[in-house]
Amino acid sequence: MSSPRTTHAIRFPHRHLLGIKDLSATDIDQILDLADSYVELNRQVEKKQNLLRGRTLINLFFEASTRTQSSFELAGKRLGADVLNMAVSNSALKKGETLIDTAMTLNALRPDLLVVRHPDSGAVELLAQKVDCAVINAGDGSNEHPTQALLDALTIRRRRGSLQGLLVAICGDILHSRVARSNIYLLNRMGARVRVVAPPTLLPAHIGRLGVEVHHDMRAGLQDVDIVMMLRLQQERMHGAFVPSLREYFHFHGLDYEKLSRAKPDALIMHPGPMNRGVEIDSEVADDIDRSVIREQVEMGVAVRLAVLDLLSRNLPVNSPAAGAK
Amino acid sequence: MNTAAASHKSVSGTHLTAYVNARMVDPATGYDGPGELLTQGGLIVDAGPGLFPDGTPEGCEIIDCAGQVLCPGLIDMKVFAGEPGAEHKETLESASLAAAAGGVTTIITMPNTEPVIDDISLVEFLKRRARFGALVNVHPMAAATQGLKGLGMSEIGLMRQAGAVAFTDGVQAVANAVLMRRLLSYASRYDALIVQHLEEPTLAEGGCMNEGEIATRLGLAGIPDAAETIMLERDLRLVELTGARYHAEQLSCAASVEIMRQAKRQGLPVSCGVSAAHLALNENDIGSYRTFFKLSPPLRREEDRVALVAGVADGVIDVIVSGHNPQDQESKRLPFAQAATGGVGLETLLSVALICFHDGHVSLPELLARMTINPARLLGLPGGKLARGQPADLLVFNPGKTWVVTGSALRSKSKNTPFEDRHLQGVVMRTVVSGETVFIREEI
């Protein structure tokens, strides 16, 4: 039995994982260290553990997702949990209205771990106040997507050894991005320097107050950076509302080799996916095996989610309250 | 005074009440000192110091104010009372109970109801419902445009005759400039006040709090100051064009206070209001998505709150409202962006406004003027002053006494107060409407 749990006895000081905002550098290191050991487990033939045997994990997605949901599902199953995927149809009419009701229903199902994605900022926190189990934020509105920032950090750390002192450029639709916010908080906390690069229409007000350098020009923004993080541009924002056209966006903000040449020669290219090839990133750059770590990010995603489930499960009650107790 | 006192005795058959031993505050004259007041039936007979040198008139009921403040009852210019259409959140009766407990003797209801108050029959309906169900005076504001759609004028003249005291589209602005121009000129013919909600709709679209660092940190779409100032500046130019009276319902930011200061210096016939909540709270109170602090206009920065208090102190801001907006749990226990805006405020209006007085920014008569004589003048209503012939709408309160706000103890049907657990100073002891005591605090 080669359990990857080297930090076995250490308690994780949080009941839920709602955002990077709540985590200290020590918390982040604890997650990343454990995730690191899970990477090896994932590469073995026998991947199954029984840490979460008897536990129920519910994936509650109010917004469609492929990779995050499947990543959590896989992580839950590898740890031996029973995994239930619930997709809540998001008809505009009923949007948000049933959140508290949903929480009540879920409590009756007695899950131990709940993974939630919701289109509204703060919705996962609201749900966490109303349910009895541990809650993991899998993305809420434009607020946070903590496991994405953690898997990005793990990817970088494995390539560079440490986040300390690195210069990271986050490029694209910062305004609507929960990935950008979680990454800004995490990178700052771990001693990296962060730049955001975007047209002014895709930057939120006073973003500089979050501790980032603001650039509107890709060439200047990418100068000497160690890491280039590209963000997805949503279709509905491309045609006139925030930027004039796809063509113009790619011309000034799409990552191609010419713009990339400003970054350090060994700069890593990252993207949370799914990519719009030819919109925010040139296809060849995305597939460059020397520079792009986009596929590695997906692999690290499973490891990080294994670590998060592991750590939060250590705080779960050992015996559920007696059945029938009100 | 002596002649008045003498004349008291000659009146018979109607109930006389003397309020003695009071610190009398009359915002209309600025008087703040010892005084007595005599009412007969529903009207004030006389008021002033040393009113009863030979003792109170025979057979007269005596109310000892025990040295506490006696002033005109408050007039609240912005109240959502639920009726018709949202009786599960509030009714005129429950709103009036809250008003009475808050020292408010007159409420002005907003037309954003279901159906919208845009027809004389609905104005009459409200007045009739209020007559039979409400403890305090109720005067409706009616819709400025038909169905609040912002496309065509409502029947301003007819509704004015039926008793609508002002015209507004309530929670949304009249955005169309030419329609606003015509509303202003048309309404002036009936001396009807146009009241504007300052929010340029396209700039505010999707926004749910003040635009700035905190909104960015919370991942929430913001509403910039400019959504308010653009609408205000535009309207002021239309007031120049028409010469008509205009009231900006609620300012929320420092820039608007400055714009109004200039407009008044210029002599334009304009006035403006602020909510008590905006004088006491700022965007930081939202904390971690606390929807009870989601208001419209939004709470803004601390600098803005300070500027609003200064605006009240130097007279740029004419009116303080509660903005009383009852919302049930189902409307507030939602993700922030989905949650309804507004907070209840009738019962906390006085105590929250008094923070400006206790902090030394404004005198008591000046502060009370913004909730009594000023709205009365703007709306052409009686009351708001302690003078012969005025309605006996009165308030007795202890300005220094502390209480703690408990949502569940509020009289409003809805409990969405942004002041939950706050310690406030200023306790209403007695509220009188048309000479009848409608609220009295027993415990003390």
Q: Which chain A residues are within 8 Å of B333, Cβ to Cβ?
A: 100, 126
- Give the nearest partner residue to B219 out of A99, A126, A143, using CB atoms: A143
Q: Which chain A residues are within 8 Å of B218, Cβ to Cβ?
A: 121-122, 143
- The distance from CA B49 to its chain's CA centroid, rounded to whole angstroms, is 29
Distances (CA, A) of B290 to A141, B217, B303, B339: 16, 14, 21, 10
A120 Cα to chain B: minimum distance (Å): 6
**Minimum mean pLDDT among A239-253, B125-139, B168-182, B296-310: which range?**
A239-253
Helix (H, G, I), strand (E, B) or coil at A304: helix
Contact B334 A210 (CB under 8 A): no
Dig out the tokens for B230 from the structure.
């653009």
A68 is catalytic: yes
Confidence category of residue B60, pLDDT binned at 50, 70, 90: very high
Contact assessment for residue B48 and residue B80, using Cβ atoms and an 8 Å cutoff:
no
Q: Which chain A residues are within 8 Å of B221, Cβ to Cβ?
A: 142
Q: What gap in Å lies between CA A297 and CA A154, rounded to an integer?
A: 8
Dig out the tokens for B215 from the structure.
């909104």
A157 is catalytic: no
Greatest alpha-carbon pair distance for chain A in Å reads 66
**Nearest-5° Cα angle at A200, A199 to A202:** 70
Contact B216 A100 (CB under 8 A): no
- The percent of residues in chain B predicted with pLDDT above 70, rounded, is 97
Dig out the tokens for B63 from the structure.
């109310």
B306 Cα to chain A: minimum distance (Å): 21
CB burial of A50-69 (b: ≥16 within 10 Å; e: otherwise) equals ebbeebbbbbbbbbebeebb
Contact assessment for residue B156 and residue B123, using Cβ atoms and an 8 Å cutoff:
no
**pLDDT above 50 for A2:** no
How are beta strands B61-64 and B16-26 bridged, if at all? Answer: parallel
- Give the nearest partner residue to A122 out of B211, B213, B336, using CB atoms: B336
Contact assessment for residue B346 and residue B99, using Cβ atoms and an 8 Å cutoff:
yes
Written as one string, the DSSP assignment of A236-261 is: GGTTTTSSS-HHHHHHHHSB-HHHHT
**pLDDT above 80 for B26:** yes
Contact A126 B333 (CB under 8 A): yes
A95 is catalytic: yes
Active-site hit among A47, A67, A216, A262: A67
Helix (H, G, I), strand (E, B) or coil at B246: strand
Q: What is the pTM of this model?
A: 0.92
Confidence category of residue B443, pLDDT binned at 50, 70, 90: low
**pLDDT above 80 for A239:** no
Neighbours of B50 (CB within 10 A): 11
Helix (H, G, I), strand (E, B) or coil at B171: coil
Mean pLDDT value across residues B304-330: 97
Contact B288 A125 (CB under 8 A): yes
What pLDDT does residue A318 have? 82
Question: What is this model's ipTM?
Answer: 0.89
Question: Looking at B176-231, which runs of residues are DSSP E strands?
Answer: 193-196, 209-210, 222-223
How are beta strands B436-440 and B423-433 bridged, if at all? Answer: antiparallel
Sign of CA dihedral B243, B162, B379, B248: negative
Q: Which residue in A274, A213, A216, A205 sits closest to A243, CA to CA?
A: A216
What pLDDT does residue A104 have? 84
What pLDDT does residue A87 have? 83
- Give the nearest partner residue to B337 out of A21, A97, A120, using CB atoms: A120
Provide long-range contacts, Cβ within 8 A and 24+ apart, for A84-93. A84/A56, A84/A57, A84/A58, A84/A59, A84/A109, A84/A111, A85/A58, A85/A59, A85/A61, A86/A58, A86/A59, A86/A60, A86/A61, A87/A61, A88/A60, A88/A61, A88/A62, A90/A62, A90/A63, A90/A119
Helix (H, G, I), strand (E, B) or coil at B107: strand
- The percent of residues in chain A predicted with pLDDT above 70, rounded, is 92
Confidence category of residue A325, pLDDT binned at 50, 70, 90: very low
Q: Which chain A residues are within 8 Å of B338, Cβ to Cβ?
A: 95-97, 120
Interface test with B, best of A94, A137, A143 (most B CBs within 10 A): A143
- Tell me: the pLDDT tens digits for B145-191? 999 999 999 999 999 999 999 999 999 999 999 999 999 999 999 99
Tell whether B337 is within 8 A of chain A (Cβ). Answer: yes
Residue of chain A nearest B335, judged by CA positions: A123
A145 is catalytic: yes
CB burial of B235-267 (b: ≥16 within 10 Å; e: otherwise) equals bbebbeebebbbbbbbbbbbbbbebbbebbeee
**pLDDT above 70 for A93:** no
Tell whether A99 is within 8 A of chain B (Cβ). Answer: yes
Contact A122 B222 (CB under 8 A): no
Residue of chain B nearest A102, judged by CA positions: B334
Look over chain B and give the mean of its residue pLDDT values, rounded to a whole number.
95
